[in-house]
Amino acid sequence: MNLLSAGSGGAVNYARNLAPVLAEKIRSSGGGKLTILAYPGLVPAGNTFDPTSFQVMEYPHLNGLRRVVWEQFHIKRIVAKTQPDVLFTPYQIAPAVHGVRTVLMLRNMEPFRFRDYKSPPLKNLRNLLLRELSRAAIIQATHVIAVAQHVEEFLIRDIRVPANNVSMIYHGRDKRFSSDFRTHDAELLRAAQLPPSNFILTCGSLLPYRRCEDIVRAFVERTSKEFPTLSLVVAGAPLDVDYAALTCSFPQNLKHRICFLGHVNADLLAALYRRSATFVSASEVEACPNIAIEAMASGCRIVSANTVPLMELFGDSALYYQSRNWQELANRITESLSADGAAANRVSLALRRSERFSWETCAQQTFDLLHRVANTLPANHKNK
């Protein structure tokens, strides 16, 4: 299992939740072993694993193109040394390795949609390269995991991967996110100089396809006037500096009511979900967004753009608005804040829906797939 690409929070969360459970399932199935390729610190030092079922091989932590180049030179050597039945890379880019079955995962849709958004030339070049590398790796793979139904449809329709070479497996739910109020929630919010409640929350790195500017505009033009004590909290790293500057431009008189936190840790994020008056997501490009699962598990009132990836995850648990229509977004926020039975019912639906996402289920389905690939498909199979 090649985890060297696990750099983002979602990828690290996937690696740490899935690997131990998958190792145990491999061991109990007949004495196999899971060997993972990881950079130092990815597997927490406090974890103890049965050495007969789990082995960690550590390599340098490289990002982007440097990691891709390193893997091209070294993965073949590592495979020749370890002789695995299957090489599983939970990412969409991996070197072609002759003589071993390979399973990839498509979990980043941005490289396939980046032309719909204005980004700096260097960012566009990066996405173009990622798109072409992803296509090539996916076509060469024995099997591909789609992390949502719309991703599965994209692989079959746009990449032309045969349907029987694609499996859909949702990510799991991080149990740190729940609807149970914690006594330290208020302390965490106070330390971050945030109100204890009565705020709208949106999450995710500040990137053009997340459409955070629509949420800010709805708040500035309508919501802040209709609800004079309500605040807007934005949690997410400003990965696109120009876009972040655009999003953060709003009237000075609202400076005390709109807070951009940047990246936040899981404890503070969990408190934000639980204490928010409503949660809003305007994103147009996602694969299986963790924030959607976290918001449902936290019992949030949810307002969402009517985009395919968000509607697939939220189902009936959200109020939807036409993407990019900030006036309709403002209307849905007002509706979400009302203390009626419909709002309470959507919260109940969200909590029940979040239970569909389980790391145990994800690990079992992943194990079943890897076992099938190892035992039924030839090592030189390609998606052609």
* Residue 302 counted as domain residue: yes
Domain that holds residue 284: 185-354
What phi and psi, each to the nearest 5 degrees, are found at residue 104? Answer: -115, 170
Decide the pairing of beta strands 54-58 and 258-262.
Answer: unpaired
Same domain, 163 and 216: no
How deeply is 235 buried, as exposed, middle or buried, from its count of CB atoms within 10 A (0-12, 13-18, 19+)?
buried
pLDDT in tens, 77-133: 999 999 999 999 999 999 989 889 999 999 999 999 999 998 888 889 999 999 999
Predicted confidence (pLDDT) per residue in 348-365, tens digit: 999 999 999 999 999 999
> Could you tell me the sign of the dihedral formed by the alpha carbons of 135, 139, 141, 144, in that order?
positive
pLDDT in tens, 204-236: 999 999 999 999 999 999 999 999 999 999 999
> Domain of 106: which CATH number?
3.40.50.2000
Whether residue 378 has pLDDT greater than 70:
no
Is residue 240 classed as helix, strand or coil in its secondary structure? coil
pLDDT tens track for 163-187: 999 999 999 999 889 998 888 999 9
141 and 198 both lie in a single domain = no
Whether residue 315 is found in the same domain as residue 363: no
- Considering the domain architecture, whether residues 14 and 155 belong to the same structural domain is answered as yes
**Structural domain contains residue 178:** no
User: Are 104 and 61 in a shared domain?
Assistant: yes
Domain count of the chain? 2
For the chain, percent of residues with pLDDT exceeding 70: 96
In single-letter form, the type of residue at position 191 comes to A
The answer, yes or no, to whether residue 52 has pLDDT greater than 90, is: no
The per-residue pLDDT of the chain, averaged, comes to: 91
* pTM metric for this prediction: 0.91
Is residue 377's pLDDT more than 70? no
- 336 and 202 within one domain: yes
Instruction: Give the pLDDT confidence of 269-314 residue by residue, as tens digits.
Output: 999 999 999 999 999 999 999 999 999 999 999 999 999 999 999 9
Confirm whether 383 is domain-assigned. Answer: no
Phi, psi of 131, deg, nearest 5:
-60, -45
The CA-CA-CA angle for residues 105, 98, 61, to 5°, reads 50
What ranges in the chain are assigned the alpha helix state H? 9-28, 64-82, 110-113, 121-140, 149-157, 185-191, 212-218, 224-226, 241-247, 266-275, 290-297, 308-314, 326-337, 341-354, 359-376
In a 13 Å sphere around the CA of 141, the CA atoms on its Cβ side amount to 34
Is 384 inside a domain boundary?
no
Handedness of CA 121, 237, 45, 56 (dihedral sign): negative
The pLDDT value given to residue 384: 42
